[in-house]
């Protein structure tokens, strides 16, 4: 992810340490290895999931033909034959989202006492890099999903056809792969505008509720610190000039938006309140300074998947910036 990046990572930007956060070469220390290896098993499959999603074309033509000619059995069989393997892919994506619950172990490592979030990020750079990679994957997955209506169309057709087959007592090849209970869960997952982000938000909220002995600030400060890291890297020419390619820019943008949304879901008053430790105006400005086509999905994620944007405590200026 580019060369060594010197970033300001304090939550209070008036004071605090500078240190290098290496998004490319960070290697786990002995104390990081156990969590690192667990998360790495999941991350190894992330690129393949994105490639599968990017190449997902859907069975729109076959489905249209089958619907237009309901009495033609061959067309019905052809549509079903096209949809079943696609639903197998959708099942794989859904199951991968469940594996991302590994984030909870990662959050545990990055928020444990006695260290502050800044100290954790400085000491456990390999884990910080993995956290960033999970967020990057999450936002990338959701961007691709949002621009591919075939996913929900295929799954809806699959469920309707399966239901009809049951009524007519027709054996359904493929039902063994996605039974009714799993289909219900998948349906809820794909109904979300940003399903992977929802999964991560739920996992983070669950982490906070399960770790009552850990102050919630440990988690929210970790998220706000990460947002500050990304914002400063992006808005400071000296730091940004060290990026070796544009991919690093989109990586940082996605990570920044991801941690803002997580913070907004976990913090009692959210990311947009005056008391928030995230400089929302600065973060939105950084987004708006990018080419519009490259960040529209990220701006939409802030508009539609945050929890507190429309609260009365959110300033009119922030609301106006996101309109």
Report DSSP letters for 104-164, one per residue: HHHHHHHH-TTS-HHHHHHH-HHHHHHHHHHHHHHHHHHHHHHT-THHHHHHHHHHHHHHH
For residue 1, is pLDDT > 50? no
- Contact (CB, 8 A) for 284 and 318: yes
Burial class for 93, CB neighbours closer than 10 Å (0-12, 13-18, 19+): buried
Phi-psi region of 58 (alpha: psi -120 to 50; beta: other; left: phi over 0): left
Q: Domain ranges in the chain?
A: 29-118+148-193
Residue of 217, 212, 303 lying closest to 263 (CA atoms): 217
pTM: 0.84
- Contact (CB, 8 A) for 105 and 211: no
Which range scores top for mean pLDDT: 110-119, 151-160, 203-212? Answer: 151-160
pLDDT digits (tens, 9 = 90+) for 131-150: 999 988 988 898 899 889 99
Rounded Cα distance, 154 and 60, in Å: 7
For residue 118, is pLDDT > 90? no
For residue 82, is pLDDT > 90? yes
Q: Name the percent of the chain lying above pLDDT 90.
A: 33
Rounded Cα distance, 183 and 200, in Å: 20
Rounded Cα distance, 306 and 233, in Å: 23
Backbone phi, psi, residue 77, to 5°: -65, -40
Q: How far apart are the first and last CA of the chain?
A: 31
- Contact (CB, 8 A) for 209 and 217: no
Q: What Rg, from alpha-carbon coordinates, does the chain have? A: 22
Higher pLDDT, 201 or 174: 201
308 vs 204, 238, 315, CA distance in Å? Answer: 16, 33, 11
The secondary structure of residue 179, as a DSSP letter, is -
Which residues in 167-212 belong to E strands, given as ranges?
Answer: none
Q: What tokens appear for 63 in the block?
A: 């489905």
């Amino acid at each position: 992810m580019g060369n060594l990046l010197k970033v300001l990572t304090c939550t209070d930007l008036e004071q605090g340490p500078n240190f290098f956060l290496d998004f490319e070469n960070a290697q786990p220390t002995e104390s990081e290895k156990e969590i690192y290896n667990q998360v790495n098993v999941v991350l190894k499959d992330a690129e393949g999931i994105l490639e599968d999603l990017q190449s997902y074309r859907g069975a729109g033509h076959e489905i249209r033909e089958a619907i237009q000619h309901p009495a033609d059995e061959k067309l019905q069989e052809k549509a079903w034959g096209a949809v079943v393997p696609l639903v197998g892919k959708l099942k794989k994506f859904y199951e991968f989202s469940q594996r991302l619950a590994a984030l909870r172990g990662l959050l545990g490592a990055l928020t444990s006492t006695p260290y502050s979030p800044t100290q954790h990020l400085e000491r456990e750079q390999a884990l910080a890099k993995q956290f960033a990679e999970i967020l990057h994957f999450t936002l990338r997955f959701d961007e691709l999903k949002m621009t591919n209506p075939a996913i929900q169309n295929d799954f809806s057709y699959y469920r309707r056809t399966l239901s009809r087959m049951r009524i007519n007592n027709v054996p359904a090849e493929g039902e063994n792969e996605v039974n009714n209970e799993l289909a219900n869960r998948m349906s809820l997952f794909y109904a979300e505008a940003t399903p992977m982000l929802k999964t991560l938000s739920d996992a983070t909220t669950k982490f906070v509720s399960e770790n009552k002995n850990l102050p919630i600030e440990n988690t929210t400060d970790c998220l706000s610190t990460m947002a500050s890291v990304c914002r400063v890297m992006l808005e400071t020419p000296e730091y940004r000039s060290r990026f070796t390619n544009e991919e690093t820019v989109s990586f940082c943008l996605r990570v920044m938006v991801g941690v803002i949304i997580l913070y907004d879901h976990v913090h009692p008053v959210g990311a947009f309140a005056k008391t928030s430790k995230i400089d929302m105006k600065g973060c939105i400005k950084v987004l708006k300074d990018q080419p519009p086509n490259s960040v529209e999905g990220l701006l939409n994620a802030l508009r539609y998947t945050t929890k507190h944007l429309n609260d009365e405590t959110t300033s009119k200026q922030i609301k106006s910036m996101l309109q």
